[in-house]
Structure 1
């Protein structure tokens, strides 16, 4: 079942100016262009870099975007004005907002390193909050990171990393307790996964690779298999507070979007995507930790059905409840013509499912001239 009026129809619409709103007159969802990289002197583009990364800070007053030259920029979420180019994070720095302090942003060195930093965005000063040197089981450790797609636990205490040598050969996995500044557990591994992450509760370390998706207890004494291979996915909070892995199963008969309750191991298929020959790529954002039981989905590069029609989910951003036979709530069409990685929408949601940030070239021809757009949901917009 599908509900909701979208903030944007698939019909032609001129690209809005920064701060200009768009949407159907009777829609409860408001769309707005959030950045203008050309006017702000930001190189190439100003985009939300990934669906699994929370772009908004703890009180939704700021958001971050990535630029074409690898710099990170801070924007005011209310005025939509560029505030500063951040001093510290560069390229693939895996920035993560502090869960309660709106001025603190954690980051790693480019492609991971042996220290974790905290940046005060109010005064642009950084400090080391975790130093892994000499504290890991591998003397040749050089890169400690999630390989771009991971997050710490919901409270920011537990961090899961993969550890690699100077040449990016995998050494193993670790879980780090940032509060007590100690190593919780480690595991030697020989197969490099696509990425790793901590679950929101901190109860599970999740590795995702072509060899499968596995959840480990923080001390690595318990392991569960969640899926046979890596696809786009995220880890959300279920309505009951359990950790829920959400992904798509292209090997299943229906190309099902599914969830696995990591705590119980139970799998639930949510909806099929192979509709009369149709198929799609999609991203998931489970960052609405304060709205348990929901995940954000953005679809792109949709393949038409055999009769030439597009499936109901094509090129859209929608809210998906984590339950059997879910009612989908359409939020908007992203209007990004996907020509490469950066023109994928990469829609991400804030902790309260009040704001959505996504990337779009507004029907353009390539990965340049991209900006961030925002969808604003009314209070209690979702049940």
Structure 2
């Protein structure tokens, strides 16, 4: 099943309607594991990322009255055994928590498009691979189809207005320690990284990327991840594809935001679907439907083949601290959902024409007696290594007319052989005419796996009737 229509292109059209060569090297690279098959010590930091260094989140369950809906010792239950019929549930009022009838979680509507932004159409979550919540869990983002980004107070769900300076696909990235800082790019990637103080609405340029490129990047006008990438978990290392004014690929670069310097570059001409850094910063991924998905060392000296296609996926932290790639293989016999331990996979030299695909761990099979479904993955729970969030949609029935266990659910998936899958909510979103992509749930999770945000039409077929919703979880909900 092909990937959905990309958000960056939709934004371009909306806003327009409205008005391989030798790599270069730098002196310092992200630290590699002592052995590619040896895990870092359990509980140790991952390339400067330590959960203890991050701000402690506020008592989030007070938001929406969710604390009153949970009994002491609440834990999520298995999604494998949950019914596949979706119980009736009236659309919640904004900011008022209700009990999700199947899984017993606290569900809250996070936006009200008519009251918050009546001129703007839908308000929804951005994407599964992007973090919606700031460092201390006090604010979250939503966006509208006119290209504006909206910030909200996470305790009261109050709309705080649009963020000045962010236009269309600005690829906003919350800083992992400063809750008031948001880094972003010009529309469809300009040549700089901007930073905004969300309290004051003031922006400044914090990196001139074009000036750091070698000669082959002289005509660069769009430096970005093409909508789906993220920096490393500590926000130090960023990876970009570099394009000219016609969106033709010139090459790739890895940027050290802490030292304001290039780590490595490589000239190329085959434009991929998207690029990203792994959470540790040890790997830069290039994802192409024609050439597959590869993990490159930041100096572009070696590479690893993660997948033969570019499907919905994300990069997460495994239970042992390794970088992992989570995706789905529609060409496999079982439609396998799987993960790859990126650090443990053998590498080949940069100029190798081919490589074996990395060993994978199959998590579950999506082909169940003739059924097939689509899904998004979020690996953004960096403080809860070994877990990913999955949101499924567009699932067809099996030959006997039943739906598979994962249909239309949002669930936590353990990244291990024979994993637990813990049910969180039914998203209750159906395709809206002309807005199929925007009605996908595309759920994302905060760093501590305490708060999830997703998009839903809430069974409405009215055009533009799409909002952002959240599930708030108590500590210990994953049963650990």
Do the two structures share a fold, i.e. TM-score over 0.5?
yes
Q: How many residues align?
A: 382
Q: 1:270 aligns with which of 360, 363, 366?
A: 363
1:9–1:24 Cα contact (<8 Å) kept: no
Partner Cα distance (2:372, 2:85) in 1: 21
Structure 1 pair 24–159 and aligned structure 2 pair: CA distance change class (3 A): closer
1:41 alignment counterpart: 117
1:350 alignment counterpart: 446
1:4–1:331 Cα contact (<8 Å) kept: no
Q: 1:330 aligns with which of 423, 426, 443?
A: 423
1:16 alignment counterpart: 92
**Superposed CA RMSD:** 1.6
1:261 alignment counterpart: 341
Matched, 1:296 2:376: no
1:162 alignment counterpart: 241
Shift of 1:23: 2.1
Partner Cα distance (1:11, 1:336) in 2: 13
1:368 alignment counterpart: 464
Provide runs of 4+ in structure 1 moved above 4 Å: 3-6, 24-28
Q: Name stretches of at least 5 consecutive residues in structure 2 with no aligned partner.
A: 1-76, 346-358
Name the SS of the counterpart of 1:10 in structure 2: coil
2:45 alignment counterpart: none
Structure 1 pair 197–25 and aligned structure 2 pair: CA distance change class (3 A): closer
Deviation digits for residues 165-207 of structure 1 (CA, Å, limit 9, x no counterpart): 0000001110000000001000111210000000000000001
1:184 alignment counterpart: 263
Shift of 1:338: 2.5
1:150 alignment counterpart: 229
Greater strand share, 1 or 2?
Answer: 1
Deviation digits for residues 6-36 of structure 1 (CA, Å, limit 9, x no counterpart): 8x97122221111122224795521111110
Greater helix share, 1 or 2?
Answer: 2
TM-score after normalising by structure 2: 0.78
2:473 alignment counterpart: 377
2:131 alignment counterpart: 54
Shifted more, 16-25 versus 112-121: the winner is 16-25
TM-score after normalising by structure 1: 0.97
Structure 1 pair 303–171 and aligned structure 2 pair: CA distance change class (3 A): same
Matching of residues 24-173 of structure 1 within 5 Å: 24=100, 27-42=103-118, 43-137=120-214, 138-173=217-252
Name the SS of the counterpart of 1:302 in structure 2: coil
1:221 alignment counterpart: 301
Deviation digits for residues 204-247 of structure 1 (CA, Å, limit 9, x no counterpart): 00011111000000000010000001000000000000000000
Name the SS of the counterpart of 1:375 in structure 2: strand
Name the SS of the counterpart of 2:373 in structure 1: strand
1:51–1:283 Cα contact (<8 Å) kept: yes
Shifted more, 155-164 versus 361-370: the winner is 361-370
Shift of 1:123: 0.2
Partner Cα distance (1:30, 1:82) in 2: 20
1:28–1:378 Cα contact (<8 Å) kept: no
Using CA pairs below 8 Å that are at least 6 residues apart, which structure has the higher relative contact order?
Answer: 2
2:348 alignment counterpart: none
Partner Cα distance (1:255, 1:4) in 2: 17
Partner Cα distance (1:89, 1:213) in 2: 29
1:311 alignment counterpart: 404
Partner Cα distance (2:121, 2:102) in 1: 35
